[in-house]
Amino acid sequence: MLNRIKKLIEDSDLSNGDFAAKIDIQASSLSHVLSGRNKPSLDFVMKVLNAFPEVDADWLLFGKNAETQKIVSPVVSNESSMTKEEEQVNYGAVEKVKPDIQAVKSSLGLTNKSNIERIVFFFSDGSFKEYLP
């Protein structure tokens, strides 16, 4: 993995310090990883993948070719489009409920002209608190 991190730094035309800043770690932490003193942590790898979304996780972790990225990408894009459709469906459902609430209020005789006389909160210990507007 060390060689792939070095290749990523080289390919991105960044200095070690700029690379560390881009992935939001201390330059000394990157130096320790590059020198072999420390192994890259999960947090380090996640920050690299977040900062460089074009990098394939399988390539970075295991050195496998980037072909797996091409297979996974359509599935991810389908999931995101389904999410957008689901949001639209849920939004439409909320809009349909609002007129029903108005119909219920009118059938119960509740109008906006009614005034609140008092509000009473009952607590589980048997006490209550009353508010008068």
Query: What would the pLDDT profile of 78-105 be if each residue is shown by its tens digit?
Result: 555 555 555 555 555 555 555 666 666 6
pLDDT at 28: 92
Residue 32 near residue 26 (C-beta atoms within 8 A): no
Average pLDDT over residues 5-22: 91
- For residues 1 and 61, the answer to whether their CB atoms sit within 8 Å is yes
Homologous superfamily, domain 2-65: lambda repressor-like DNA-binding domains (1.10.260.40)
Region 30-45 average pLDDT: 90
Domain ranges across the chain: 2-65, 70-133
| 14 backbone dihedrals φ, ψ, rounded to 5° | -115, 150
Tokens representing residue 28 in the block: 């000394």
In terms of Cβ atoms closer than 10 Å to its own Cβ (0-12, 13-18, 19+), residue 95 is exposed
What pLDDT is attached to residue 21?
93
- Mean pLDDT for 3-7 is 90
Whole-number average pLDDT of the chain: 77
For residue 31, the model assigns a pLDDT of 92
